[in-house]
Structure 1
Amino acid sequence: MEYCSSGSLLSVLESPENAFGLPEDEFLVVLRCVVAGMNHLRENGIVHRDIKPGNIMRLVGEEGQSIYKLTDFGAARELDDDEKFVSVYGTEEYLHPDMYERAVLRKPQQKAFGVTVDLWSIGVTLYHAATGSLPFIPFGGPRRNKEIMYRITTEKPAGAIAGAQRRENGPLEWSYTLPITCQLSLGLQSQLVPILANILEVEQAKCWGFDQFFAETSDILQRVVVHVFSLSQAVLHHIYIHAHNTIAIFQEAVHKQTSVAPRHQEYLFEGHLCVLEPSVSAQHIAHTTASSPLTLFSTAIPKGLAFRDPALDVPKFVPKVDLQADYNTAKGVLGAGYQALRLARALLDGQELMFRGLHWVMEVLQATCRRTLEVARTSLLYLSSSLGTERFSSVAGTPEIQELKAAAELRSRLRTLAEVLSRCSQNITETQESLSSLNRELVKSRDQVHEDRSIQQIQCCLDKMNFIYKQFKKSRMRPGLGYNEEQIHKLDKVNFSHLAKRLLQVFQEECVQKYQASLVTHGKRMRVVHETRNHLRLVGCSVAACNTEAQGVQESLSKLLEELSHQLLQDRAKGAQASPPPIAPYPSPTRKDLLLHMQELCEGMKLLASDLLDNNRIIERLNRVPAPPDV
């Protein structure tokens, strides 16, 4: 086979960068390669019997991607699914408990073993790759406390994927989820944990077979991931779905991780609203990444990224010079340092997504303000031009023409509606100013985050610590150190401890505290945004109601004026046939002027009614955009 120049999966996991498990993308590569290799073995009726990270070799492909190869078939043999074997072989931490009992504890038993013993080893290997540690750990370690090791594996409750004994002769503690230090997303964990629980099963009758294992793991590998950033909760989620799933299934998956019901989910992508139809295929969702996710806008309490303080996982150096112990301690401290670096980056990325998402939401609200203000001002302009007719005002006061009194009342109602629209316009303008002020504050905070240098400071400490760690790694292979070398070694231990303390101090004071303060501020801003959103909805409804009522009033006024105009025409015709009337208290041109004015006003009312109808249509389209529930 080809030369695998990058060592084994074990050497990858032994690196301090992976002290808490592989990154999600790399873990999926391991899963894909191991499943493919095991599938090939089962198609050829072969049981491996010694699956472990040390027997999975890594090489780098032409495009820089990792490729893992299942190797070391010294213990392999041909065995069909229904066949058994009695010989024992393997590495004890990865052995099936039945094999462990016979091979490690040396207890005589007449059990025969089947091909599913490989599934147990795969489960332990996958857990190790995901977390950086073994799933079953007695106090003192698996090699020092073999009886407790056997107890943990055989007494494990159904559904548990790990067990540990924290103190000597202490109780066994069970875990049903992967640890919080794991780098895998909750979306992937929810798919992986049931598989681990069902292949890490002692009883053969309850353990999955290879067919079900291949089916479930293939289901994971065939899924696509959609990155969703919950703006209200300030948390990035990985949603694993099939490309052929519908949007409704995607929304349910989001609901499981965020507790936001599908009807309350509203999305933005790169500053634009995304209207997702539940019946449409999920293939229509935009391509997302961790740095460019869908932004979920909803009402929820900010909780932020959950993590374990790396300082809790930092071991202490022993006072005396012990090259092996010092190396192990340095490795553990360096692993915690890399975890702090990853968390620091995640916290900064989370703040960036908060700022960007809020900026987009405020841009959408500003656009809503502009459209609603345009509708309100347009309606107000037409109403103002209609109400500004002086001749109508003078004629309307004529007591002899009762129809004009009704027209005056309708005109008074239009004036009231105009005042309401004027107040709405002023209200929207004030909201625009408030949003602009909040946006300027947001830009200022975002600039401060961009100027943050905590990542560089942590990286600088890590580089210096890594240099000392490599010296310790070389020294542990030596039988001892001379006097001068021992003094240098002691000084390196002191410097290493100071660097670790400085690194954790930067993480706590520059990263965690600022992130927590940012979360508090983010919560306040989100409340303001939700209140503004709801306020704009109410103002938009008021503008729509005014437009609807103004349209009705204009139609009534137009109808009344048409009737009045018709009556005046009839009176004029009768006056032309009759004898000349006596001198009236009002000059004769008044009726002629009134008639002309009525005709002009009638045409104006028709035009105004048409414009109001257009405005209502615009508002109806704006109201179709789904909105979150009231705060």
Structure 2
Amino acid sequence: MEYCSSGSLLSVLESPENAFGLPEDEFLVVLRCVVAGMNHLRENGIVHRDIKPGNIMRLVGEEGQSIYKLTDFGAARELDDDEKFVSVYGTEEYLHPDMYERAVLRKPQQKAFGVTVDLWSIGVTLYHAATGSLPFIPFGGPRRNKEIMYRITTEKPAGAIAGAQRRENGPLEWSYTLPITCQLSLGLQSQLVPILANILEVEQAKCWGFDQFFAETSDILQRVVIHVFSLSQAVLHHVYIHAHNTIAIFQEAVHKQTSVAPRHQEYLFEGHLCVLEPSISAQHIAHTTASSPLTLFSTAIPKGLAFRDPALDVPKFVPKVDLQADYNTAKGVLGAGYQALRLARVLLDGQELMLRGLHWVMEVLQATCRRTLEVARTSLLYLSSSLGTERSSSVAGMPEIQELKVAAELRSRLRTLAEVLSRCSQNITETQESLSSLSQELVKSRDQVHEDRSIQQIQCCLDKMNFIYKQFKKSRMRPGLGYNEEQIHKLDKMNFSHLAKRLLQVFQEECVQKYQASLVTHGKRMRVVHETRNHLRLVSCSVAACNTEAQGVQESLSKILEELSHQLLQDRAKGAQASPPPIAPYPSPTPKDLLLHMQELCEGMKLLASDLLDNNRIIERLNRVPAAPDV
């Protein structure tokens, strides 16, 4: 086979960078390669019998990607699914409990073993790759307390994927989820944990077979990930779905992770509203990344990222010079340092996503303000024009129109509507000013995030710590140190401890505290945004209602004017037939002039009613456009 120049999966996991497990992308590569390798073995009827990270070699492909290969087939043999074997091979931490009992505890038993023993080893290997540690750990370690090791694996409750004994002769503690220090997203964990629970099963009758294992793991590997940032909760989620799934299935998956019901899910992507139709394929969702996710809105309370303080996982050096112990301690401290670096990046990215998402919401609300204000001002302009036309149309000799009670009431109502629209316009203007002020705050906060140098400070400490760690790694292979070398070693220990203390101080004061403060501020801003959005909805509804009512009033007033015009013409015609009109001391309008004037007035009112109708249609269309979400 080709030369694998990058060591084994075990060497990858022993690196301090992966002290708490592999990153999600790398873990998926391991899962894909292991599943493909095992599938090939089963197609050829072969059982490996010694699967472990040390027998999974790594090489780097032409495009820089990792490729993992199953190796070391010294214990392999041909075995069909229904066949058994009795010989014992393997590495004890990864052995099936039945094989462990016979090979490690040396207890005679007549059990035969099937192909599912490889599944147990795969389960332990995958857990190790995901978390950086073994799933079953007795006090003192697996090789120092073999009886407890056997108890943990055989007494494990159904559904548990890990067990540990925290103190000597202490009780066994079971875990049904991956640890919080794991780098895998909750979306992937929800897919992986059931698989681990069903292949880490002692009873072969209850353990999955390879067919089901391949089906479930292939289901994971065929899924695509959609990154969703819950703006209200301030949490980034990885949602795993199949490309052929519908939007409705995607929304249900989001619901499981965020507790936000599908009907309350509203999304923005790169500053634009996303209208997701439940019946269409999820392939229509834009391509997302962790730095460019879909932004989800809801009314949930910000909770932020849940994490374990790396300081809790920092071991302490022993006072005396012990090269092996010092190396192990330095490795543990360095692993905690890399965990702090990873968390610092996640916390800083979270602040950036919070501020960017709020900025987009501001833009949407500002656009809503502009549209509503335009509608309100247009309606107000037509109303003012209408009222002015009515005053100028008052003609001497037509007292019956001026004093008509219904017409007077309608004109009064138009004036009232004009006043309401004027107040709405003023209200929207004030809201725009408030949003502009909040937007300026966001710009300042984003500048502060971009100027943050905590990541560089932590990285600088890690670089220096890593240099000392490599010295310790070389020294542990030596039988001892000379006096001068020992003094240098002690000084390195002091410097290493000082750097670790400084690193954790920066993490706490520059990363965690700022992040927690940003969560508090984010919660306050989200409440303001939520209140502003609700207020804008009420104002928009008021403007739409005023516009609709004004249209009705204009139509009624127009009908009254038409009836009065018709009545006036009839009265003039009757008067002309009865007697000649008296000579007026002042010129008065002729019936023909009055008729023309009334016709012009009616035409004007009809045009105004038509304009108001168009305006109402605009508002209805705006109301159908998805509004900015509840926040």
Q: TM-score, normalised by structure 2?
A: 0.98
**Unaligned segments of structure 2, at least 5 residues:** none
Is the partner of 1:82 in helix, strand or coil?
A: coil
CA deviation vs aligned residue, 1:437-491 (integer Å, no higher than 9, x gap): 0000010011011000000000000000000000000000000000000000000
Contact 1:230-1:236 at 8 Å conserved across structures: yes
Q: Shift of the alpha carbon at 1:614?
A: 1.3
Residues 23 and 400 (structure 1 numbering): CA distance in 2 closer, same or farther, change over 3 Å?
closer
Q: Could you report, residue by residue, the CA deviation over 1:415-450 in whole angstroms, capped at 9, with x for unpaired residues?
A: 100000000000000000000000000100110110
Sort the Cα spacing of 1:629 and 1:603 in 2 relative to 1 into closer, same or farther, 3 A.
same
Distance change >3 Å, CA 610–CA 147, structure 1 → 2: same
Identity of aligned residues (%): 98
SS at match of 1:395: coil
SS class of match (2:587): coil
Shift of 1:310: 0.2
Contact (CA 8 Å) 1:379, 1:547: kept in 2 or not? yes
Identify the range of structure 1 (613-622 vs 349-358) with the bigger mean alpha-carbon deviation: 613-622
CA distance in 1, matches of 2:9, 2:423: 69
Secondary structure of 1:473's aligned partner: helix
Deviation, 1:566, is: 1.6
1:86-145 Cα offsets, whole Å, 9 max, x none, are 000000000000000000000000000000000000000000000000000000000000
Q: Is the 8 A contact 1:379 1:615 kept in 2?
A: yes
**TM-superposition CA deviations, 1:328-348 (whole Å, max 9, x none):** 000000000000000000000
SS class of match (1:317): coil
Secondary structure of the corresponding residue to residue 164 of structure 1: strand
Between the aligned partners of 2:396 and 2:298, the Cα distance in structure 1 is 53
Aligned counterparts of 2:627 and 2:608: Cα–Cα separation in 1: 31
Contact preservation (8 Å) 2:229, 2:236? yes
* Aligned-partner Cα distance in 2 for 1:400–1:610: 27
Contact 1:396 1:407 in 2 (8 A): no
What is the Cα deviation at residue 392 of structure 1?
4.5
After superposition, the Cα gap between the structure-2 partners of 1:33 and 1:325, relative to the gap in structure 1 and judged at 3 Å, is same
Q: Deviations over 1:487-534 (max 9, x none)?
A: 000000000000000000000000000000000000000000010011
Partner SS state of residue 59, structure 1: strand
Which deviates the most, 583-592 or 380-389? Answer: 583-592
CA distance in 2, matches of 1:529, 1:243: 34
Question: Equivalents in 1 of 2:397, 2:516: separation in Å?
Answer: 68
Give the number of equivalent residue pairs: 631
**What is the TM-score when the length of structure 1 is the normalising length?**
0.98
Cα separation, partners in 2 of 1:531 and 1:397, compared to 1, 3 Å: farther
* Post-superposition offset of 1:578: 3.9
- Give the 5 Å matches for 1:38-77: 38-77=38-77
Query: What is the rounded CA distance, in whole Å, between the counterparts of 1:403 and 1:549 in structure 2?
Result: 23
1:586, CA displacement in angstroms? 7.9
- DSSP 3-state at the match of 2:399: coil
Q: 1:560 to 1:585 in 2, by over 3 A?
A: farther
Structure 1 residue 575: deviation in Å? 3.8
Q: Aligned-pair distance for 1:298?
A: 1.2
Contact 2:224 2:241 in 1 (8 A): yes
- Conserved? CA contact 1:246–1:280, under 8 Å: yes
Return the offset for 1:367: 0.3
Aligned counterpart, 1:17: 17
How far apart in 2 are the matches of 1:254 and 1:399?
Answer: 69
Would you say the 8 A contact 2:297–2:630 is kept in 1? no
* 2:235 maps to 1:235: yes
In 2, Cα distance between equivalents of 1:396 and 1:268: 61
In 2, are the aligned partners of 1:299 and 1:628 still within 8 Å (CA)?
A: no
SS in 2 for 1:589: coil
Q: CA deviation at 1:389?
A: 2.8
| More off after superposition, 92-101 vs 575-584 | 575-584
CA contact (8 A) 2:310 2:339 kept: yes
Q: Any gaps of 5 or more consecutive residues in structure 1?
A: none
- Summarize the Cα distance change of 1:429–1:559 in structure 2 as closer, same or farther, 3 Å threshold: same
How far apart in 2 are the matches of 1:267 and 1:76? Answer: 52
Name the SS of the counterpart of 1:202 in structure 2: coil
Indicate whether 1:331 and 2:331 are aligned: yes
Cα 1:218/1:396, change in 2 over 3 Å: farther
| SS of aligned partner of 2:67 | strand
* Post-superposition offset of 1:579: 2.5
Distance 1:586 1:364 in 2: 62
1:39 is paired with a residue of what secondary structure? helix
* Counterpart-to-counterpart distance in 2, 1:508 and 1:409: 69
Give the superposition deviation at 1:402: 7.4
Name the residue aligned to 1:315: 315
Counterpart residue number, 2:553: 553
Shift of 1:605: 1.2
